[in-house]
Amino acid sequence: MNKTPLPSVVTAGLDLPAPLVISPTEHPVSIKDIDSDALMVLRRLHEAGFAAYLVGGGVRDLFLGKTPKDFDISTSAKPGQVKKVFRNCRIIGRRFRLAQVFFGGGKIIEVATFRRPGENDIGGDDVVLPSNNSFGNPAEDAFRRDLTINALFYDIEHSTIIDYIGGVKDLEDRVVRIVGDPERRITRDPVRMMRVIRHAARADFQVEPATWEAICRHKDKLSLCPVSRIRDELFKDLKGGASSAWFKLACDSGLFHVIFPFYEKVLVEHAEAAMYMKNMAQNLEVSDRLAGEGQTLPDGLLMALVLLPWAETEMDFAAVSTQRDAYVLSRSIRDNLVEMFGKLNIKRSMQDDIARSLATLPLLHKHDNDDKAWPKWLQKKSYFKSGMQLFQLAREAGGGDPAHLPFAAPEPAAVKKSGSSNFRQHAPNGGHRGPAFALNTKGGVFGFRN
């Protein structure tokens, strides 16, 4: 591969090597595959005299021949300057200001100014991550990113990939590696551990050994991060279409039990732990199948599916034979969820949905009869629909008929949608938009009791 080194880069506090510039004939990314609105944003920034590149997951996914979920842009323009270039633009974020350029249909292209790594990402004591709002240059922007495969820049003017950190080699070798010293980068922002596992699962890549060892060593530090960040990352893991592979890596590294400590009883200590592990993986495979077909499960249903092995072992499903029993069970599940979701900021209505669909399951099993329609009284119940959805997912997971109820409209590709959610919204991704740590997590990340 013909890779031309650029002149060496000198930056404050960092001794950065010169990047490799990979020519268009030497990489698979084509400008044709870049979203037309993202191209327009890049061109307008260039016309206004700024440097601007496609960065992050967009370059990674195009390199791998996948359709990116979103196209993020990094530029030398400061947020206020970006706003002047685009009328359809707003600036968000307090700790890290970022411009969002709006297009039809709720589509958003995020434009971030080159940033340098937080001071504590590159040196100093092992203390919590400080606020980082210092602007930088492209090299620094590459080094502040989480993974080498997420740190590539695509230059639309020359159709080249600019690689400061060896991300192209890692893409070719199918390796997920934390940028810089994994110990330090994880200690400074433990959510990066989740991001490693997500991308390894999604791309079916190996985690580089030093990165993996650092995760296994520091897994408990995840509890130091605010629940909102963990929750957002978790739902991305569960919805990304590779949740079953994610589950395996999360268990092997121990991260799963940091997120869900109550699952230790079921998936490690239980006499039938191996069976429940398998059940969970099979549940998630169904969700992955649906995600692959463009059907993302609603958050509540997804969480009910994840909680199913726990509910089966810890809740008395066998005691349910009447509506009244199902109601009592749903109250009992709900009581357990309250503690967890109090911190998760999940709407009460969704907690009710989770509890009801789990508690309806034994009732549906009881009345499941291939030859007959569901009893009319059951069909009329408000909980029938969500219960049926979970029932169908569990049935497919157990080797039965495929789940076929409509779950949710497919998400359009390569578009960031603003819209409603069951969770209170906070700043979108691309960096840190809130406190990176919160020491309020007794009883596990979500506050579940052991």
Query: Taking contact as CB under 6 A, which single stretch among the options 27-35, 142-150, 367-375, 390-398 is the one that binds ligand ATP?
Result: 142-150
Distance CA 23, CA 106 (A): 34
Residue 237 engages ligand ATP in binding (rule: CB under 6 A): no
Residue 146 engages ligand ATP in binding (rule: CB under 6 A): yes
CB of 236 vs ligand ATP, minimal distance in Å: 6
Q: How many CB atoms lie within 10 A of CB 380?
A: 8
Of 35, 37, 61, 72, which one is the catalytic site residue? 72
Token pair 């990314």: residue: 29
Closest by CA position to 259, among listed 220, 228, 288: 220
Of 37, 70, 163, 288, which one is the catalytic site residue? 70
Active site residue 173: no
**425-429: long-range pairs with CB below 8 Å, 24+:** 426/228, 426/232, 427/92, 427/93, 427/98, 428/92, 428/108, 428/110, 429/232
Selected from 107, 145, 239, 395, the binder of ligand ATP by CB under 6 A is 145
Q: Site mask, ligand ATP, residues 34-73, x = CB under 6 A?
A: ----------------------xx-----------xx-x-
Which residues does residue 175 pair with via DSSP β-bridges, in sequence order? Answer: 206
CB of 404 vs ligand ATP, minimal distance in Å: 28
Do 260 and 250 form a contact (C-beta atoms < 8 A)? no
Total residue count of the chain as it appears in this document: 450
Residue 182 engages ligand ATP in binding (rule: CB under 6 A): no
Binding at 134: pick from ligand ATP, Mg ion, none (beta carbon under 5-8 Å per type): none
Relative to beta strand 72-75, strand 20-22 is unpaired
Distance CA 397, CA 195 (A): 26
End-to-end CA distance of the chain: 53
Selected from 76, 113, 150, 279, the binder of ligand ATP by CB under 6 A is 150
Selected from 136, 362, 430, 447, the binder of ligand ATP by CB under 6 A is 430
Binding at 236: pick from Mg ion, ligand ATP, none (beta carbon under 5-8 Å per type): ligand ATP
Distance CA 383, CA 10 (A): 62
Q: Which amino acid is at 10?
A: V
Q: Site mask, ligand ATP, residues 71-100, x = CB under 6 A?
A: -x----------------------------
Residue 70 engages Mg ion in binding (rule: CB under 5 A): yes
Residues that bind ligand ATP (CB under 6 A): 56-57, 69-70, 72, 145-146, 150, 189, 191-192, 236, 429-431
Q: Tell me which residues are annotated as active site.
A: 70, 72, 146
